[in-house]
Structure 1
Amino acid sequence: MSIYIAVHFLMDWVYTHPNLSAVVSLTSLLLWLSVRRPSNIPPNPWFIFPLVGHRPLLRGDPIEILRRLRKELGDVFSVYIDAQLVIVVSGMAAIREAFLIRGDEFHWRPNTRTCDLFHFGVICNSGKEWREQRKTTEAGIRHISPNIALLVRKESQQLIETVKEQAGNAFDPKIILHSAVFNALTSILTSRRMDYKDVRVEKAIERYEENLGLFSDSKFPNFFPFQKFLMGDFFDVKFLRINMTEIHQKIINPVYEEHKSEFDGEQVLDFLDVYLREIKANKNVEKTTIEEKSCQAVLYDLLWHGTTTTGATLYWAVLYILNYPDVAARARDQITDYLLQLEDRNSSAGAGDTSSPTGKIEIPAYFKAFIHEVQRCANICPLSMAHAVAKEKFLKGYRVPGDAVILPNLDSLMMDEDIWGDPEVFRPERFLNSDGKLSVPTEFIPFFI
């Protein structure tokens, strides 16, 4: 009898409070939709919070959390960040299938706020635009590749001189190392370099570092669906835009305009010349993305990602050298012998020889192993850029919806005990075979496929 009384009371309340009941019904519907899960998606934590998804479960070190979830759920699992389904792909088998064997299906970029900031370049693009930018970028890199070693060698000499100027005083090498990488890249891409003490270089590196941190931090928060309507800058997306605009105004745009004014359409000396030539060739092509704003965006992408990743690798190399003196001594002896051989060969070739400084002289295997181990242990890109699919696909038996965000988990390769045995130990010898020659496992992918 009591249940009938309760139903009668509820019906009477709805009838007498139509507006409030509509709000309650709509709220209940939204809450239900926010915890509703599509069928056959990759496994995820069983409890999901209304509206915010699994966000409360992801507080703390995201890499440690993903390692734990992988152990619990497998190589392909998912989490909900607010209303956004995020699929994490771990392990060599799953990563190889998704991004190498089926790369054409999984190469798309998701429609997120941070990716929208960079979508004119080659990093955050998809489809036809991405193919055009990649083709032109690869053409530019092929054109300059014969000169890369020589330009890097020249910049290395400048780096050595800059370190010597410190006269034995304590200093933080981070800015100097990043400046060296930045200048090597500007020389390769635009035939221009700047002084290490140039305030524009220091500011650009600071902004690049800030953007890297903000971009990494926003991998999860930028999925919040209503953030663009919020006042303020809770997720630092606007700060990202301000930093990017400053770098464009202070460095990218002036260099581009100067280069464009000097380019005659015939003499192609560097990457930027190649792109300007392609802009001219595509001038009358309809719906092409080979244009000025894309060229500037590609320069930004190459300078940003090249400076931060290579600069961080060098910085970590210095730290490992300081903490592992035996490893440092062995690597130093081998590279010193290698450089002496280069010097002898170049002396024999004559001062006018501008060919690649390596020739047939092989870089010592242990030194290569040292660099590989720095990249593995530093693990500076534990999560690669977010991917997506254009329409629904299946991966390892699970459904991948067209609106899902897909994160390649490179940490699952670089720090996996099943692959390396003792991944937390810095041991360059792991990359050498029994003959002392370099042997690199297929799972070693420091900067993605």
Structure 2
Amino acid sequence: MAGLLVELVEWLASSWVVTIFLALTILLIYHAPGGRPKNFPPGVLILPVIGSLHLIPMGPTREFLQGLKKKYGNMASFGMFNARFVVVSGASTLKEVLTQKVTAARPEMMPTAGRNYMTTNGRTANLGLIGAWGDQFQEQRRFLLHHLRDLGFGKTSYEPIMLQEIAEMLDYISKQGGQPITMKRLFSRSVINVLWGMMMGKRYPYGHAKLNKILETFLQPAEYHILSPVWFLPDICRYVRYIPILRRDLLVVKKILDYMEDEVKECIASDDFDTNMSVVATFVREIKKRKNTDSIYTMEQLTALLWDMFVAGMETTSSTLSMGVKLLAENPDVAKKMQNELDTVLGKGTKPSFSDIERLPYTQATIYEIQRVFNLARFSLPHYVTEDSVLCGYNIPKGTILLPNYDNLMTDPTQWEYPNTFDPRNFLDESGKMKKIESFLPFGVGKRLCTGEALARRELFLFITCLAQRFTTKIVEETDPGIINPVFGTAPDGPSKPRKPSKPSRTRKPSKPSKPRKPCKPSKPRKPSKPKKPKSAHFCRGDKSHYYDQGQTGRPRFLYKTTSLRRNMFQSINVLHTIAAVN
């Protein structure tokens, strides 16, 4: 026995698992914050080394985070390993905290930090826009906003390009002749073409091999739970590319980056590069201008910026448009009122323009209500405090991670007249005009306000109004849900396939008769259970099919099927659909 114990100890000592475990333990003890600082926001117990993982071993859930807000208020805390977190809630508190310079940085997080360490061979995590901080973030945000203005975003000059995409999408729907297609991919085609024109200076028609390649590259399955405890081990993002079980999701990121690099090279080699006013061409000219200086304008930064713009811009807009069609299908009275306003104000056959939005209060309120009910970003990406600060009367040490909580803003009964139903009257006053709601922050707040807000607002308005002008939706049937990935989902081709019949089980030998048991006492009759309330619209459990009915509106119809919605807490999740035109 003693010999076996000696061999076991020697094996454990030579095991790489034990080596890694001991190294992590030493790192955690070295970096351990030592519990809760003085005058830190209240919250659950934060222990040295493990933080609050004794309560949330798999990381914080939505229920846990909302429980913190409910129990401890708008500034509530917890910990994971050596990282301290403060959940920031409430519209006024969010605005006070996130508008300060010391809260505008990002912690190292997946997948952006892992991507940047991979592309720079471990040199830096500060690339791109989403995960960047400091001067890098400020300069890249300034460059992008300036270039978007030059291209016409924020004005009406870029609308013809968007309307061209929408017209091609509507014609594509009409030509399907009853054959199912994927609505999520349908919106992705149009949205990515708008982005591609902005970033690369070109677009591709439906069915083009290049467009299909872009969709295949970007719509790949991958999942990142940004608040998973593993991402808060010391320096884990720097070394994730060396850990087999963790680096597999980086392969998806690498495939997208490789495709981006090839497209950038093709753009540079094009004949019209010198006159091309796209983001890529302008950025490359900036690189050449600052060639002999220590500049943040590099090819590594360009590919990271493109990745951020495409992944964030495509997913968020496509998801919101999909949910918008679904909500209008489930609320035909709202859809009809919006269509009547469009017909009355614009006239039938007149293409909408974003300049018309002030004349269309009910339409604007409907689009805002879609964003409110969808509530795309329940919890925003984390912020990082860059120096010791006092926020809302609490001492916040340098290195604290702030988690903006937008979850309950969209359903706060003190702010909304109809918080739990889809009703555009939430945004209208008694005279039918738009009113401002402090809690409506779909694009965030502060120095990290969404860079693409102007583009997103125009896309949502033009896509939804053009669809409403031409189609009307109704629910007709239900089918089983397909498989949905939390980040890059793949839409099902149609109703789920029937299960194969199971094989007949083998006949068992008869068992020996058991002894007769004593009769049990009769149990008390149970009270009848209360019927379960149906799930809210944006958490439907099963697929639902819709068709666009001609009815009294004179609009053509097409079959529309949508799967159930699952969402990751911190990233936009596509609502997947299949549709089919009916002649």
Normalised by the length of structure 1, the TM-score is 0.80
Distance 1:221 1:150, change over 3 A: farther
Please, which moves more after superposition, 308-317 or 123-132?
123-132
**In the alignment, is residue 388 of structure 1 matched against residue 387 of structure 2?**
no
Contact 2:36/2:46 (CA < 8 Å) preserved in 1?
no
> In 2, distance between residues paired with 1:182 and 1:79?
39
Residue 358 of structure 1, CA deviation: 4.7
Contact 2:365/2:424 (CA < 8 Å) preserved in 1?
yes
RMSD: 3.1
Q: Which residue does the alignment assign to 2:433?
A: 437
- One-letter amino acid of the counterpart of residue 234, structure 2: P
Q: Which residue does the alignment assign to 1:180?
A: 190
* Structure 1 residues 217-296: aligned runs within 5 Å: 217-218=226-227, 220-225=229-234, 227=236, 232=243, 236=246, 238-250=247-259, 252-262=260-270, 267-284=275-292, 286-296=293-303
> In 2, distance between residues paired with 1:418 and 1:85?
31
Distance 1:314 1:387, change over 3 A: same
> In 2, distance between residues paired with 1:319 and 1:335?
19
> In 2, distance between residues paired with 1:127 and 1:227?
21
Q: Which residue does the alignment assign to 1:398?
A: 394
Please, which moves more after superposition, 140-149 or 166-175?
166-175
What 5-or-longer segments of structure 2 have no aligned partner?
1-21, 117-125, 446-583
**In the alignment, is residue 40 of structure 1 matched against residue 53 of structure 2?**
no
Contact 2:413/2:419 (CA < 8 Å) preserved in 1?
yes
Residue 227 of structure 1, CA deviation: 4.7
Distance 1:53 1:233, change over 3 A: farther
What 5-or-longer segments of structure 1 have no aligned partner?
1-22, 347-355
| Counterpart among 191, 196, 206 of residue 219 in structure 2 | 206
Distance 1:428 1:292, change over 3 A: same
| Structure with the larger strand share | 2
Residue 76 of structure 1, CA deviation: 0.8
> In 1, distance between residues paired with 2:36 and 2:244?
30
> In 1, distance between residues paired with 2:359 and 2:280?
30
Residue 61 of structure 1, CA deviation: 8.1
- One-letter amino acid of the counterpart of residue 67, structure 1: Q
Residue 260 of structure 1, CA deviation: 1.6
Distance 1:129 1:164, change over 3 A: same
Contact 1:77/1:88 (CA < 8 Å) preserved in 2?
yes
Contact 2:165/2:194 (CA < 8 Å) preserved in 1?
yes
Residue 339 of structure 1, CA deviation: 5.2
> In 1, distance between residues paired with 2:75 and 2:64?
14
Contact 1:384/1:447 (CA < 8 Å) preserved in 2?
no
Contact 1:263/1:273 (CA < 8 Å) preserved in 2?
no
Contact 2:76/2:88 (CA < 8 Å) preserved in 1?
yes
Contact 1:194/1:201 (CA < 8 Å) preserved in 2?
no
Contact 2:51/2:83 (CA < 8 Å) preserved in 1?
no
Q: Which residue does the alignment assign to 1:86?
A: 85
Equivalenced residue count is: 403
| Structure with the larger helix share | 1
Normalised by the length of structure 2, the TM-score is 0.63
Residue 414 of structure 1, CA deviation: 2.0
SS in 1 for 2:282: helix
> In 1, distance between residues paired with 2:136 and 2:103?
15
Residue 338 of structure 1, CA deviation: 5.2
1:179-211 Cα shifts (integer Å, max 9, x gaps): 21111111222222235544323323423xx45
Q: Which residue does the alignment assign to 1:155?
A: 165
SS in 2 for 1:417: coil
Contact 1:144/1:271 (CA < 8 Å) preserved in 2?
no
